Chain A
């Protein structure tokens, strides 16, 4: 096994990249965004760079400009934008489509937990784990747009205020949505454990295919739903595929601390890292999970080029085309892979165990990560030169957990 000295690295794939004008770049493939080949090529590129995993963005509505927050666009009403990528495929299915044609990289689709059934998502991620032989994870997110609620027509978003996310002690719509998400992840996890690993016995003498004493009702009852179990899908290869979440403030930190294996956080400066980590760790202690591994990954949008000037010029060209300077909930890095390596190692030293990088442009900035940043990190002895494990948990240094229901 390779000695682990540097940060973990993940890449967040979304459309043609995170910049709204990225699809107009010379190497962009905007007409292929809805093909399997496009996604296969991207994930294979990430795998060639021995990255830990890719995430695949998703929501239950068309893309909007709003970073997590309420949408004021009336569905079916005013026209949507026509100058940027609109439309996407289901992220779980994209990940599954790519799984058989990759071999080591982790596959972490985004799933919205506000409207969907935990029973369905649990077996979907378990199945992704089967088809990838142990490389599945999931990034859970809540619905923050009215449009998503109207697509289901079962409930209203209500008075959703992003500012409430920093007020963990005050009741709010936002706090409820995150509490519901925590219940949802609890159901995912119980369902993954609802079959013990050796439940299938194929005992011809007694005619029994399974030992039903090793299958368990989960009997979850909460404020928003109840789920009986057991799952229809046996326990996945990893036992518990890693659960991840993006978090910017106290309430989402609390969700991550209760429920996740990896949390993506958004410091904009190195000196914010310590405070964020302290907050996450305190929530972990409150949740009674202080002794459990929880990776804290820094989140960065990256625009990379061989020189700092070229990187700056490239980003300026994109901003020009979009008609606005690009801003993000995460820090935006513009520079060379070497400079990015400096920054990542510095923030890693400040306590972040890894990073999820959002390529500003695809495939350009992904290739700059795999062919520029990764060699830079390797040259400093700070990144793997080959995959040391066959599962995502293995790559993240997480052991295969015991089953909560096993005697």
Chain B
């Protein structure tokens, strides 16, 4: 007996504030005007994607004490743009990243419940935590959170929000004009939550929303992040390039669910993935090489190197060799407000690897950075990419992908037009939406209070 075909889940990531996004391409449009968001969301809905995804960063990134100016800069407010997108889409899920450090549970729950009502059941929350005082300088709460408490804060924040969502069962509003009874229960929305982080009580003002609770997403590869996802999330993002690495991650996180009384299908594994298409595999590879050079300009290469070296390398020629000295040890002070610097856990060892690679292949700084940073996941003809995506899903390296186009707003068009039909032909991707809520698209149950 053969294993039944898994259905693939796909999401569209609005191009981010980082060097994956190519703004120098002649086709690159605005990153802030609403029309760009409409274009991507409507393309995703036309292609029957599960959801649209928006990242967040609450302070402009800096490097060397100055605002980082080489990448796209500028984002909308997450909730506000998702609520507007609900007006121009009908079925597409609307997922936003919202920080649990610089918000309070009451307001976030109120906003997500409102978004879920206004989108008729399409809201999703990517729960992130942050601890840095750098971002905290933009908030009255400040950057008060010790790093080791961030998952604890996220957990209790999410539990508290759930209590607020669940404070309405869903049957309280009668609105009977004849008898004059609007509300069946005079205590509807009552809640009280007291712990080390939150001490709140009262009545939640938003009646139960169509999904009960928004879909919960989690991005985080650490052990704590995986555990958080296993206990609380409906889907986890990750970034594992190879099939084997994807399978290892998939097996690991799915294996963690049982201890929370959950079954493996209750947590979807949806890695973020970039892609470059061409008529042939060879043409796609040529295009991918062009994209890599667009993503890593000479200036960008130097900035990447500075993040590892933790030093000002502005005098170096990007087309020349790497610095001969080792990275500066200690706390990284060169770049702030970005996650990438934390990837280099042992900068000296990484630098030595890079130098060895550069010498072996005779690479300049720019060529090396192109080689060692974020290459595209899927490169090939539509047939190749469809086959690869399907292979990843059917062999349990993922349940689907969050696709990250590198051009705004048309970067998903070709995928929608050329790859999605092939997945549909294979019978592994929906040809029409069968449900109206995001929970229905993802095959996860509505939560009842």
> How far apart are the CA atoms of A60 and B203 in the complex, in Å?
10
Which B57-104 residues have C-beta < 8 A from chain A?
57-60, 66-67, 69-77, 79-81, 83-84, 86-88, 102-104
Pair B74/A61 contact, Cβ less than 8 Å: no
Pair A80/B203 contact, Cβ less than 8 Å: yes
For residue B411, CB closer than 8 A to chain A, the reply is: no
> How far apart are the CA atoms of A157 and B252 in the complex, in Å?
49
Pair B84/A76 contact, Cβ less than 8 Å: no
Pair B69/A89 contact, Cβ less than 8 Å: no
Query: 17 A–B contact pairs at CB < 8 A?
Result: A76-B187, A76-B190, A76-B191, A76-B201, A81-B186, A90-B110, A99-B87, A101-B87, A119-B102, A120-B102, A127-B84, A150-B202, A152-B200, A211-B69, A227-B140, A232-B59, A233-B76
Chain A residues, CB < 8 A from B183: 80-82, 86
Contact with B along A111-133 (1 / 0, CB 8 A): 00001111110011011101101
Q: With A119-B58, A131-B80, A208-B70 given, is the CB distance from A229 to B189 under 8 Å?
A: no
For residue B273, CB closer than 8 A to chain A, the reply is: no
Q: With A28-B177, A92-B79 given, is the CB distance from A209 to B73 under 8 Å?
A: yes
Chain A residues, CB < 8 A from B103: 117, 120
For residue A206, CB closer than 8 A to chain B, the reply is: yes
Closest to B301 in A: A207
For residue B388, CB closer than 8 A to chain A, the reply is: no
Contact with A along B104-143 (1 / 0, CB 8 A): 1011001101110111100000000000000001111100
Closest to A123 in B: B77
Which A64-110 residues have C-beta < 8 A from chain B?
75-76, 79-90, 92-94, 96-101
Stretch touching chain A among B292-300, B324-332, B371-379, B433-441: B292-300
Known: A80-B188, A124-B79, A200-B74. 4 other contacts (CB 8 A): A90-B110, A90-B111, A202-B24, A234-B74
The 8 tightest CB contacts between A and B, nearest first, are A79-B186, A75-B202, A225-B140, A207-B299, A131-B84, A228-B137, A30-B175, A127-B80
Chain B residues, CB < 8 A from A87: 173, 188-189, 205-207
Q: Which of B87, B140, B180, B190 contacts A321 (CB 8 A)?
A: B180
Chain B residues, CB < 8 A from A278: none
Number of A-B contacts (CB under 8 A): 246
Q: Which of A26, A60, A88, A212 contacts B66 (CB 8 A)?
A: A212
Pair B207/A34 contact, Cβ less than 8 Å: yes
Chain B residues, CB < 8 A from A133: 34
> How far apart are the CA atoms of A209 and B177 in the complex, in Å?
58
Pair A90/B114 contact, Cβ less than 8 Å: yes
Pair A130/B76 contact, Cβ less than 8 Å: yes
For residue A264, CB closer than 8 A to chain B, the reply is: no
For residue B184, CB closer than 8 A to chain A, the reply is: yes
Q: Which of B104, B140, B173, B187 contacts A31 (CB 8 A)?
A: B173
For residue B182, CB closer than 8 A to chain A, the reply is: yes
> How far apart are the CA atoms of A99 and B118 in the complex, in Å?
12
Closest to B299 in A: A207
Chain A positions within 8 Å of B, measured between CB atoms, are 21, 23-26, 28, 30-31, 34-36, 40, 59-62, 75-76, 79-90, 92-94, 96-101, 115-120, 123-124, 126-128, 130-131, 133, 147, 150-154, 195, 200, 202, 204, 206-212, 215, 224-230, 232-234, 321
For residue B23, CB closer than 8 A to chain A, the reply is: yes
> How far apart are the CA atoms of A30 and B298 in the complex, in Å?
60
CB distance from B297 to the nearest CB of A (A): 4
For residue B33, CB closer than 8 A to chain A, the reply is: yes
Most chain A CB within a 10 A radius of its CB, from B72, B187, B203: B203
CB distance from A110 to the nearest CB of B (A): 13
Pair A86/B188 contact, Cβ less than 8 Å: yes
For residue B199, CB closer than 8 A to chain A, the reply is: yes
Chain B residues, CB < 8 A from A85: 182
Closest to A133 in B: B34
CB distance from A142 to the nearest CB of B (A): 15
For residue B32, CB closer than 8 A to chain A, the reply is: yes
Contact with A along B186-215 (1 / 0, CB 8 A): 111111100000111111011100000000
Chain A residues, CB < 8 A from B73: 200, 209-210, 215
> How far apart are the CA atoms of A115 and B57 in the complex, in Å?
21
Pair A117/B111 contact, Cβ less than 8 Å: no
Closest to B209 in A: A34
Chain B residues, CB < 8 A from A230: 60, 67
> How far apart are the CA atoms of A226 and B84 in the complex, in Å?
30
Pair A206/B299 contact, Cβ less than 8 Å: yes
Q: Which of A23, A97, A225 contacts B118 (CB 8 A)?
A: A97
Which B28-77 residues have C-beta < 8 A from chain A?
32-34, 38, 57-60, 66-67, 69-77
Chain A residues, CB < 8 A from B244: none
> How far apart are the CA atoms of A207 and B199 in the complex, in Å?
48
Chain B residues, CB < 8 A from A98: 87
Pair A23/B177 contact, Cβ less than 8 Å: yes
Closest to A101 in B: B87
Pair A209/B200 contact, Cβ less than 8 Å: no
CB distance from B413 to the nearest CB of A (A): 21
> How far apart are the CA atoms of A88 and B57 in the complex, in Å?
29
For residue B181, CB closer than 8 A to chain A, the reply is: yes
CB distance from B108 to the nearest CB of A (A): 10
Chain A residues, CB < 8 A from B81: 96, 127, 130-131
> How far apart are the CA atoms of A152 and B198 in the complex, in Å?
8
Closest to B68 in A: A212
Pair A118/B83 contact, Cβ less than 8 Å: no
CB distance from A22 to the nearest CB of B (A): 11
Pair A80/B71 contact, Cβ less than 8 Å: no
Pair B104/A152 contact, Cβ less than 8 Å: yes
> How far apart are the CA atoms of A119 and B138 in the complex, in Å?
6
CB distance from B330 to the nearest CB of A (A): 24
Closest to B189 in A: A62
Q: With A79-B187, A86-B182 given, is the CB distance from A120 to B114 under 8 Å?
A: no
Closest to B34 in A: A131
